């Protein structure tokens, strides 16, 4: 009986789920050296396959240009020798990270005399759904394998041929070291039905979904997934300049938090500043930002202090610009700043600038975001900066892992209990 295309995809996806589970069961029993050697081999295989990867990328770029993709998206898609080497080096770096599996993160003896250890174990099978950057194929693969997990990758249509070439090399590298190549599988189809199948969990063979891409993708995954999801919908990050802030520090942090890179989730979108210091400080901060090419949109009090500032609307407070635009609001005090963040923030990353330790503590305890910073730029919201080596994403939910997600966050644990013939009275 001839199957419909839809049916073909469903069957393909279920088979991938089963293969991933088999690979995950094998990966769980590999020791640190085996995983590390296999990842180095994958990195080398990517280097060796550079000609094939570049040829595939030419195909993707051609198709993308024909479809009229914007310059920024074309740039994210483009690979060259340097970017391929960077991708391979990234895999090497993950290979050299400490192995999280088997780590004893707690050990104690309760009153009954048992010796109890909490030991890290792999999660199982990760489903990764992403959009344009083909390097995610290698990054996500490396981080998942490091933590003993298999991964099913579903990249965007834009980078399809590039990702296929990268995954092929990666799998060959793993196989050369005796690690199951199905530890990494790339969905060989760009149909949206494949994503739907993954969100359904593939008959229990996906344990966790990580989406990475635009807001539409994340929202779809959060709404439809029948398995747990680690994600952030947006990074609406705030810099709050408290009245006891050092003026130079506040200027430097505001400028860096907004303008170092405007397109990343940790870039600041709203500046809050205490009324007590706004008159002196806000014009200087505004001048710095404008000199760097940033558009400012302010409330009435801000506009009274900075000439020619566009009025911020209610919508501005709730907008993640991901661009050289900053909304600015003058607040009465710390409490008003925290209320604004609770109301409009996305629980991603928020910062207070102050030399007042008590105010800092109130902010750090009271703002319920994945990352809260005192006297440091929001652009530090990054697994690499946290020392995680690499990250697969940043999570703003409260279950399992929050903040940057690296190999250590893609683990579970179990309790290993050692007795001496203990029976329970």
**Do the Cβ atoms of 328 and 282 come closer than 8 Å?**
yes
- Residue (300 or 368) nearer to a copy of itself, CB: 368
114 binds a copy of itself, rule: CB under 8 A? yes
343 binds a copy of itself, rule: CB under 8 A? no
365 binds a copy of itself, rule: CB under 8 A? yes
What distance in Å separates the CA atoms of residue 168 and residue 190, rounded to the nearest whole number?
A: 17
Of 88-96, 150-158, 236-244, 371-379, the segment contacting a copy of itself by CB under 8 A is 371-379
**Do the Cβ atoms of 337 and 273 come closer than 8 Å?**
no
- Residue (162 or 349) nearer to a copy of itself, CB: 349
Q: Binding a copy of itself by CB under 8 A: which of 247, 249, 325, 336?
A: 249
Nearest CA-CA partner of 264 in 223, 318, 321: 321
Nearest CA-CA partner of 46 in 91, 77, 79: 91
Give the containing element (helix H, strand E) for 295: strand 295-298
Q: Binding a copy of itself by CB under 8 A: which of 41, 126, 371, 407?
A: 371
- Residue (59 or 414) nearer to a copy of itself, CB: 414
- Residue (202 or 370) nearer to a copy of itself, CB: 370
Of 36-44, 47-55, 115-123, 317-325, the segment contacting a copy of itself by CB under 8 A is 115-123
340 binds a copy of itself, rule: CB under 8 A? no
- Residue (113 or 307) nearer to a copy of itself, CB: 113
Angle 375-296-364 from CA coordinates, rounded to 5°: 25
What distance in Å separates the CA atoms of residue 60 and residue 153, rounded to the nearest whole number?
A: 18
80 binds a copy of itself, rule: CB under 8 A? no
**Do the Cβ atoms of 240 and 362 come closer than 8 Å?**
no
For residues 5 to 24, the per-residue mask of contacts with a copy of itself, x marking binding by CB under 8 A and - elsewhere, is --------------------
**Which DSSP symbol is given to 236?**
-
What distance in Å separates the CA atoms of residue 150 and residue 389, rounded to the nearest whole number?
A: 19
Q: Binding a copy of itself by CB under 8 A: which of 83, 177, 260, 275?
A: 260
What distance in Å separates the CA atoms of residue 62 and residue 369, rounded to the nearest whole number?
A: 42
- Residue (52 or 412) nearer to a copy of itself, CB: 412
Nearest CA-CA partner of 107 in 422, 424, 416: 416
Backbone angles phi, psi at 318, to 5 degrees: -105, 15
Of 9-17, 55-63, 212-220, 416-424, the segment contacting a copy of itself by CB under 8 A is 416-424
424 binds a copy of itself, rule: CB under 8 A? yes
358 binds a copy of itself, rule: CB under 8 A? no
412 binds a copy of itself, rule: CB under 8 A? yes
| Chain centre distance of CA 334 | 29
Least CB distance to a copy of itself at residue 158 (A): 28
Per-residue b or e along 197-226, where b marks 16 or more CB atoms closer than 10 Å to that residue's CB: bbbbbbeebbbbbbbbbeeebbebbbeebe
For residues 210 to 239, the per-residue mask of contacts with a copy of itself, x marking binding by CB under 8 A and - elsewhere, is ------------------x-----------
Of 8-16, 298-306, 325-333, 385-393, the segment contacting a copy of itself by CB under 8 A is 385-393
Nearest CA-CA partner of 25 in 17, 33, 14: 17
Binding site for a copy of itself (CB under 8 A): 28-29, 102, 108, 110-112, 114, 116, 121, 123-124, 207-208, 228, 246, 248-249, 252-253, 255-257, 260, 360, 364-366, 368-377, 379-380, 385-387, 398-400, 402-403, 412-424
């Amino acid at each position: 009986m001839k199957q419909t295309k839809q049916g073909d995809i469903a069957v393909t996806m279920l088979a991938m789920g089963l293969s991933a589970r088999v690979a995950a069961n094998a990966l769980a029993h590999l020791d640190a050296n085996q995983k590390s050697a296999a990842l180095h081999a994958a990195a080398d295989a990517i280097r060796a396959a550079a000609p094939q990867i570049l040829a595939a990328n030419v195909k993707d770029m051609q198709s993308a240009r024909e479809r009229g993709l914007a310059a920024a998206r074309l740039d994210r898609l483009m690979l060259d020798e340097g970017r391929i080497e960077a991708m391979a080096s990234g895999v090497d770096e993950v290979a050299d990270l400490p192995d999280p599996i088997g780590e004893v993160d707690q050990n104690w003896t309760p009153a009954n005399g048992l010796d109890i250890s909490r030991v890290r174990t792999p999660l199982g099978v990760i489903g990764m759904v992403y959009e344009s950057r083909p390097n995610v194929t290698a990054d996500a693969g490396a981080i998942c394998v490091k933590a003993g997990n298999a991964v099913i990758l579903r990249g965007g249509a834009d980078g399809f041929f590039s990702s296929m070439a990268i995954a092929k090399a990666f799998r060959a590298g793993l196989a050369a070291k005796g690690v199951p190549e199905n530890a990494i599988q790339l969905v060989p189809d760009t149909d949206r039905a494949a994503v739907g199948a993954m969100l359904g969990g593939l008959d229990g063979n996906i344990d966790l979904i990580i989406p990475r891409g635009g807001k539409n993708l994340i929202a779809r995954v959060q709404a439809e997934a029948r398995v747990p999801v680690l994600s952030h919908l947006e990074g609406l990050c705030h810099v709050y300049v408290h009245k006891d802030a050092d003026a130079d520090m506040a200027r430097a942090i505001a400028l860096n938090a907004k303008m170092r890179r405007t397109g990343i989730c940790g870039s600041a979108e709203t500046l809050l500043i205490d009324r007590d210091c706004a008159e002196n400080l806000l014009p200087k901060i505004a001048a710095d930002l404008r000199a760097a090419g940033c558009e400012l949109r302010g409330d009435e009090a801000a506009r009274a202090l900075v000439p020619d500032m566009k009025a911020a609307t209610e919508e501005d407070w709730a907008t993640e610009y991901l661009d050289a635009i900053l909304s600015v609001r003058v607040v009465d005090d710390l409490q008003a700043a925290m209320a604004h963040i609770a109301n409009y923030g996305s629980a991603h990353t928020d910062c207070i600038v102050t030399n007042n330790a008590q105010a800092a503590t109130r902010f750090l305890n009271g703002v319920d975001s994945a990352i809260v910073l005192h006297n440091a730029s929001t652009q530090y919201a990054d697994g690499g900066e946290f020392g995680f080596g690499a990250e697969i994403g940043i999570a703003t939910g409260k279950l399992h892992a929050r903040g940057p997600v690296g190999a250590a966050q893609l683990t579970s644990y179990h309790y290993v209990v050692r007795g001496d013939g203990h029976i329970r009275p």
